[in-house]
Amino acid sequence: MKYITLADHAVRTYAPDKIFTASQKAKADIAGLGEDAVINSTLGECIDDEGKLMVLPTVEKMLRSMPVEEMCSYAPIAGIPGFNEAVQISLFGEISKRFHVESVPTPGGCGALRHAVWNFLDNGDAMLTTDWFWGPYRNICEEHGRFLKSFEMFNDQNTFHIEAMDKAVGELLSQQKQLLLALNTPANNPTGYSMTKEEMDQVIAVLRRYALEYPDKKLTLCLDASYIDFDAGFCESREIFESIHDMPENMMVLVIFSMSKSYTMCGMRCGAFVCLGETAEAAQEFKAAMSYSSRSVWSNVIRSAQRVLVDINLNPEVKAQVDQERLEFSNLISKRGKAFYHEAGRIGLSCCPYKHGYFIAVPCENPDKVAEYLCRKHVYVVPQAKGLRFSPCAVTMEKCLRAPELIKEAIQNVGD
């Protein structure tokens, strides 16, 4: 108690972030044994076959040639001129013709998630998501006096479990005035699953049904599309947006947009919280409320990253160049992921259904123990509630092919 003046709600143990802890251990191991002897599949950053962080060359050039005033001066709270247009072009390939889109810059997708949890739920409410989810979802909820509830992500066909979602939505709506459903797709973290257009049609149909059944409740679907540019091709990955139409007045769809992945700028902390409004009035109301929140939490968001986003997307030639550079990155990561997935299949190690992206999940009992066992074999993965997360984005093809056998052996040995 000595000299501790924290308020009651702030007294809590901080379990070191599992991802960063595993990564630190792996780095220490590499320092002792060398790169080749260790498989460090922990962080969600793209690393090339020489062990270097992959940064889009055009982004690097733009950052290095940026005038210092552009880097250091304040940006407007609601984004620099062109920000909202640039977000739409990045997400949809054009200024949206179907929605009234408003967006606010946020410190990464994390900031956007924070705004969602704070502004679209009441104190003590729960946000709903799939049972395979990115760990910080829970922290962000709890930091803001909310909770996290989940439903089974996959059915026995290994496709999206719409019935489980339907049931969980119904249960939450019987307890809360509003629903916030977060779905991380395409290229879900930690599974690499991408929902199909048909699955998204079903999600919208379920929400529409509940919205009509409970006209006095509010339903928000928050699509965490942080990995959208590491999915299948542009058109296929955007098909999920086609599902969003004819929403009742008590329903809204929001999108989490991250520059960490699409522009390889993880450390520059920029993203956006985006509203796909059915009316201009709804979109304006969103922007005003989120701007209030931004001003009260982080004020404005890093200007240089916004500059990069605008200068790429408002210039078709530069955009085409960046799209080509990114495609090469994304192809490499998916090739590694598929190599792991096929090798796992060949040797009988079962994985969650991987489609694209940075991560693959391997279900198992005792994930913490299996991860510890793997550390002793110099393989570093991230334990999750229901299994292990492996990151093809961070390891070479050769290691993606080598890892499944080691993981299978670890699961068997810990199980025994």
Site residues for ligand PLP per CB under 6 A: 44, 108-110, 134, 184, 189, 224, 226, 256, 258, 260, 266, 271
The DSSP 8-state label assigned to residue 381 in this structure reads -
Rg (CA), the chain: 21
The residue whose Cβ lies closest to ligand PLP is 108
Q: Which is nearer to ligand PLP, 45 or 278 (CB)?
A: 45
Q: Which is nearer to ligand PLP, 114 or 211 (CB)?
A: 114
CA distances from 108 to 2, 11, 146 (A): 37, 26, 21
**Closest separation in Å from C-beta 112 to ligand PLP:** 8
Q: Are the C-beta atoms of 53 and 47 separated by less than 8 Å? A: yes
Q: Which residues of 342-352 are buried (b: 16+ CB within 10 A; e: fewer)?
A: ebbeeeebebb
Instruction: Please give the backbone phi and psi of residue 44, each rounded to the nearest 5 degrees, phi first.
Output: -95, 55
Q: Which is nearer to ligand PLP, 107 or 367 (CB)?
A: 107
**Closest separation in Å from C-beta 94 to ligand PLP:** 23
The 3-state DSSP class for residue 53 equals strand
**Closest separation in Å from C-beta 236 to ligand PLP:** 19
The 3-state DSSP class for residue 130 equals strand
The DSSP 8-state label assigned to residue 230 in this structure reads G
Q: Are the C-beta atoms of 237 and 368 separated by less than 8 Å? A: no
Q: Which is nearer to ligand PLP, 255 or 410 (CB)?
A: 255
Nearest one of 276, 271, 211, 280 to 243, comparing CA atoms = 276
Q: Which residues contact 174 (CB under 8 A, 6 or more apart)?
A: none
CA distances from 281 to 44, 157, 219 (A): 37, 42, 17
**Closest separation in Å from C-beta 192 to ligand PLP:** 12
Q: Which is nearer to ligand PLP, 88 or 184 (CB)?
A: 184
- How many other CB atoms are there within 10 angstroms of residue 369's CB atom? 16
Q: Which is nearer to ligand PLP, 160 or 210 (CB)?
A: 160
Q: Which is nearer to ligand PLP, 105 or 109 (CB)?
A: 109
Instruction: Please give the backbone phi and psi of residue 396, each rounded to the nearest 5 degrees, phi first.
Output: -70, 165
Q: Which is nearer to ligand PLP, 275 or 410 (CB)?
A: 275
Q: Which is nearer to ligand PLP, 45 or 166 (CB)?
A: 45
**Closest separation in Å from C-beta 226 to ligand PLP:** 4
> Residue 352: which region, alpha, beta or left (left: phi > 0; alpha: psi -120 to 50)?
beta
> Residue 384: which region, alpha, beta or left (left: phi > 0; alpha: psi -120 to 50)?
beta
Q: Which is nearer to ligand PLP, 211 or 274 (CB)?
A: 274
**Closest separation in Å from C-beta 266 to ligand PLP:** 5
Give the β-pairing of 251-258 and 271-277: antiparallel
**Closest separation in Å from C-beta 184 to ligand PLP:** 4
**Closest separation in Å from C-beta 304 to ligand PLP:** 16
**Closest separation in Å from C-beta 149 to ligand PLP:** 17
**Closest separation in Å from C-beta 346 to ligand PLP:** 28
CA distances from 336 to 45, 47, 78, 339 (A): 14, 12, 38, 5
Could you tell me how many helices (H) and strands (E) the chain has, helices first? Answer: 15, 12
Q: Are the C-beta atoms of 274 and 103 separated by less than 8 Å? A: yes
**Closest separation in Å from C-beta 161 to ligand PLP:** 18
Residue showing tokens 């997360």: 389
Q: Which is nearer to ligand PLP, 271 or 404 (CB)?
A: 271
Q: Are the C-beta atoms of 135 and 18 separated by less than 8 Å? A: yes
